[in-house]
Homo-oligomer: A and B are copies of this chain.
Amino acid sequence: MKSSLLKVYESTQKRELPKHELEFGRTFTDHMFVMDFSESEGWHDAKIVPYEPLSIDPAAMVFHYGQSVFEGLKAYLSPQGEPLLFRPEKNIARLNKSNERLCIPAIDEEFLLDALKELIQIDQNWIPSANGTSLYIRPFIISTEPFLGVALSTQYKLIIILSPVGAYYKEGINPVKIAVENEYVRAVRGGTGEAKTGGNYASSLKAQEQAANGGYAQVLWLDGVEKKYIEEVGSMNVFFKIKDEVVTPELNGSILNGVTRDSVIQLLEYWGVNVIERKVTIEEIYEEYKKGNIDEVFGSGTATVISPVGQLDWNNYQMVFNNGETGNLVQKVYETLTGIQYGRLEDPFNWIEQVNVRRRVNKVG
């Protein structure tokens, strides 16, 4: 599929850019990207159109059998006012990995990256410029065949929508309080945990609701089999600084392979910090905590980038890390990552991708 096949239908009614403080994920831009899949044509009819409601048959399989995947990444405005993407090829590759697990036909990764850039260019003035703000990018695929039967859909829609978002933390980063979840399970070996698919998130809501009622920001998920290995924290990967090492749960098929996680690992190694990906039990964390060996714990994910854990409650035990304050390493990781993302710092890893590259496009209408 060639980029030249992308059709652009520009919106005639540009909406007003938001003036208020931006809440995460509530405001959307003027345009969206849409591409269809059918058995006879494969992925086809790629187009950028005005943001508008979808018209979908009530029997569309996504409503019933949840065959869907999504991604989440961001565009940042550089000091020069240029839009930058952070490792977008990783998200697009992960989309295809999710597709594989969910039996959704693979997409052409190069084409999708081009289409994504085109969409961002068209809605470029929607990228907010205030400190810590960015443009959240949400590609997703849904099964649209109108059929009531548990089977692979033969029709899909890939859509990309854009949402200008505020800083997750208004005054820099703030440590959060987390509860270890002992009852509910987010994902399990042999399940869909490694894929970004709706079911994992639907399944997490109940635990999250209970945690919120108990005054916690998120839950820490244990593995579904033995209920002792640490997997993730909320919708983030998790890191523990134990003495001079940083430990993070190894990718085991039920943990999401986070782009931020990978970037944190590379960054720490670049600094000469020993990072170990392995199995970690909650018991071990508690034992090390009691010995005074853990002073920094944090989550990593696109939305917050880095989120320090100030307190972790496990059954009747309360673990407070670094007096509930943001530690030095966490702070440094956060500032370096965001510095690279916004083009303020050097990018020794070649993570940053420019958006404004001229390409051939059929402008229609």
Contacts and interface: CB of A to CB of B under 8 A. Distances in A.
Contacts of A138: 59, 64, 148
Given A25-B147, A225-B224, A202 B192 contact: yes
Contact of A140 (B24, B26, B64, B208): B64
A103 B205 contact: yes
A18 interface: no
A63 interface: yes
A63 B142 contact: yes
Contacts of A152: 205, 209
The number of times this chain is found in the oligomer is: 2
B148 A24 contact: yes
A202 B147 contact: no
A197 B205 CA distance: 13
Interface stretch (A48-56, A321-329, A351-359): A48-56
Nearest to A145: B26
A228 interface: no
A58 B32 contact: yes
Contacts of A163: 59, 148
12 contacts: A25-B148, A53-B57, A58-B161, A63-B68, A64-B138, A64-B198, A65-B201, A185-B190, A189-B224, A191-B191, A191-B203, A199-B203
B192 A203 contact: yes
A37 to B, nearest CB: 15
Contact of A59 (B28, B57, B197): B28
Which of A53, A102, A138 gathers the greatest number of chain B CB atoms within 10 Å?
Answer: A53
A87 interface: no
B149 A197 contact: no
Given A53-B55, A189-B224, A136 B148 contact: yes
Nearest to A163: B148
Interface of A: 24-26, 28, 32, 51, 53-59, 62-68, 70, 72, 101-103, 136, 138, 140, 142, 146-152, 159, 161, 163, 183-185, 188-192, 197-206, 208-209, 224-225, 227, 234-235
B202 A202 contact: no
A25 B197 contact: no
Contact of A197 (B24, B142, B202): B202
A66 B151 CA distance: 17
Contacts of A147: 25-26
A77 to B, nearest CB: 20
Given A53-B57, A64-B70, A224-B224, 17 more contacts: A26-B146, A26-B147, A54-B55, A58-B159, A59-B161, A65-B205, A66-B198, A67-B198, A67-B201, A67-B205, A148-B163, A152-B209, A190-B224, A191-B224, A192-B199, A197-B199, A199-B202
Contacts of A72: 148
Contacts of A203: 191-192, 199
Given A163-B148, A225-B225, A101 B206 contact: yes
A202 B67 CA distance: 5
A64 to B, nearest CB: 5
A70 B148 CA distance: 11
Contacts of A183: 190
A204 to B, nearest CB: 7
Contacts of A53: 55-58
A191 B70 CA distance: 21
Contact of A202 (B136, B184, B198, B205): B198
